[in-house]
Structure 1
Amino acid sequence: MSQQQYPPQQPGSGGPQQPFGQPPFAPPPPKKPGAGKVIGLGCLGLVGLFVLIALIGAVAGGGSGSNDSKRADDTKAGGSTSKGHETADASEGSDEKAAKKTGKKVVIFKVWGTAPAGALGPLNITYGSDSDNRDGAFENGKFEATLPLDDDAMYFNVTAQLQGSGDIHCSVTVGGKTKKAHAAGDYNICMAQLSSGLLGGWH
């Protein structure tokens, strides 16, 4: 019976050599990822998704909040503006406000200042146009009146004559154009007038 031959052992090799004819040991198969790792990655993905949704919601909520605050600021600003208009309207004459509501153009006549009554009576005021002349009364240091704008009028004016002393101002306003005048002392006359131009407008 023949025996299998082994190659002689080399000195210092540290152990027996594999016999001839046998393949070396096969490497172990690669490990498959465990179920725990897959579950862990899935959980991390879900958490990340929830965080992303929360961030988007926070950004959207913040934007709408800023819009709401902006609307509130606009409302406050609008309220203060309307109050300002009410205050301005309160200082205007009732005739002027009525004219603004109806859209009709008016002429505004004003006299203000100090004008004590004299030997000839109180301050003498006249106002109107070349075709419509009226008397006015000076009360509590002022006079104000309005007339409808007559496009055919050649001029509109207001005059106020002092009765021995005083210091007054007067003005007439047509279509946003205003002419002013001043008088002081003795029997001086304050007269403001706006005339119709040949090419339209008032001067």
Structure 2
Amino acid sequence: MSYQQPQHPGWGQPQPPAPKKAGAGKIVGLSCLGVVGVFVIIGVIASLFGGTNEGSASGSNPAVTQDAAESGESEGAKADDAKADEAKEEPAKDAPVIVTAKKVGFKKSILADGSDYTSVQITIANGGDKDLDVNPLYFTITDTDGGKHTAELGTDEDQIDTVELAPGENITGTVTGKGTFTPKYVTYTEGLFGDGVRGNVS
């Protein structure tokens, strides 16, 4: 009787391949990639939130920035107001009142003292359908620096008369301000109240 070795299960059958282990290099590479990805995400989030606070992060003083912005707005508002005033006071060719002006030499009258004066010759025309009152006191002269000068009565020999213009009539005369200055425009306001009508000095 021959002796037979007991058969173990699986002997003589092909064994399944052992699972491959990931190399140490691949593990390190994937770990680094994950860390880089985390930093990229953090960077994107920081830039999004940092953009909203850019003014304070830049080291600028918020109060100074606000003052500068308010100053810019204030200057812009003043410029807009000046343009609005010019548009309101500039007469159209068919307007009820038309004022033209030019600088002329001052002609000293006996009522003038030894002060310096600046005169502007004005022509005012009534283009409306109602009578128009004219008086030297209804005029102001604005100089190139923005200063306003009221009329100095009786100082110039050619001072504009106090009259009432009928529709279609006009009158020419001077309005004189005290001091030496460069006149930019003349404003006429009937009765000292209401909207002014401007005439640029040529």
TM > 0.5 between the two? no
TM-score range, shorter chain: 0.3 to 0.5
TM superposition score normalised by structure 2: 0.34
Whose strand proportion is higher, 1 or 2? 1
Using CA pairs under 8 Å that are at least 6 residues apart, name the structure with larger relative contact order, 1 or 2: 2
